[in-house]
Amino acid sequence: MSRTFVSAALLILLSTPALAQMRGEGVFERSDLNKDGTVTREEFVAARADHFAKLDRNSDGYIDSNDVPERLAKRRKQKGGSDGMAGQFDADGDKKVTKDEFVNGPTKLFDRADTDKDNVLDATELAAAKEAAKAAGDNWRNRKRQ
Residues found near Ca ion in the complex (CB under 5 A): 32, 34, 36, 43, 90, 92, 94, 96, 114, 116, 118, 120, 125
Closer Cβ to Ca ion, 25 or 125, answer by number:
125
Rounded to a whole number of angstroms, the minimum distance from the CB of residue 114 to Ca ion is: 4
Q: Which is nearer to Ca ion, 36 or 70 (CB)?
A: 36
Q: Give Cα 34 distance to the centre of its chain.
A: 21
- Minimum CB separation from Ca ion for residue 62, in Å? 8
Smallest CA-to-CA distance from 114 within 19, 33, 44, 47 is with: 44
Q: How far is the CB of 26 from Ca ion (least distance, A)?
A: 15
> Closest CB to Ca ion among 56 and 90?
90
For Ca ion, the closer of residues 2 and 34 by Cβ is: 34
The secondary structure of residue 81, as a DSSP letter, is -
Distance of alpha carbon 77 from alpha carbon 96, whole angstroms: 18
Helix (H) or strand (E) holding 97: strand 97-98
Q: How far is the CB of 134 from Ca ion (least distance, A)?
A: 20
- We find the least distance from the C-beta atom of residue 131 to Ca ion, in angstroms, to be 16
| CB nearer Ca ion, residue 29 or residue 94 | 94
User: Using CA atoms, how far apart are residues 134 and 37, in angstroms rounded to an integer?
Assistant: 19
Q: Which amino acid type is present at position 137?
A: G
**How far is the C-alpha of 111 from the C-alpha of 109, rounded, in Å?**
6
Amino acid identity for residue 145 in this structure: R
